[in-house]
Amino acid sequence: KAGVTQTPRYLIKTRGQQVTLSCSPISGHRSVSWYQQTPGQGLQFLFEYFSETQRNKGNFPGRFSGRQFSNSRSEMNVSTLELGDSALYLCASSAGLNTGELFFGEGSRLTVL
């Protein structure tokens, strides 16, 4: 069974640009969550989608958005990038039944210059 796939793995952007990150969950998983990890703030929840609907949202500005497609693949977008957006963005999938086990991808490392 293929794991969670995130693309791209690494990217460099400049301030003011926007970025789109992609996540393909494990086959059959309908829940996709996104997390931001930085040395200062640790791992912080961004949002979670289940069957194309956003069920939960973390405490991030509106520049951070996401969506989920009918095949459960998800994208997140960050507009007007700031230096502080440099982070490892992790995607996790689950069956969405609160089993507790999230399956994480390897992450997309974003550097904003």
Residues contributing to the site for another protein (CB under 8 A): 4, 31, 33, 35, 42-45, 48, 50, 55-56, 58, 88, 90, 92, 94, 96, 98-107, 109
CB closer to another protein, 18 vs 56: 56
Q: State the Cα torsion 95-62-83-48 to the nearest 10°.
A: -10
Burial class (CB within 10 angstroms; exposed 0-12, middle 13-18, buried 19+) of 37 = middle
Closest CB to another protein among residues 38, 80: 38
Minimum CB separation of residue 75 from another protein in Å reads 18
CB of 25 vs another protein, minimal distance in Å: 12
What pairs with residue 76 in β-bridges? 21, 66
Q: Which residue, 50 or 64, has its beta carbon nearer to another protein? A: 50
Helix (H) or strand (E) holding 89: strand 87-94
Q: 89: closest CA among 3, 10, 25, 24?
A: 10
| Shortest distance, position 109 Cβ to another protein, whole Å | 7
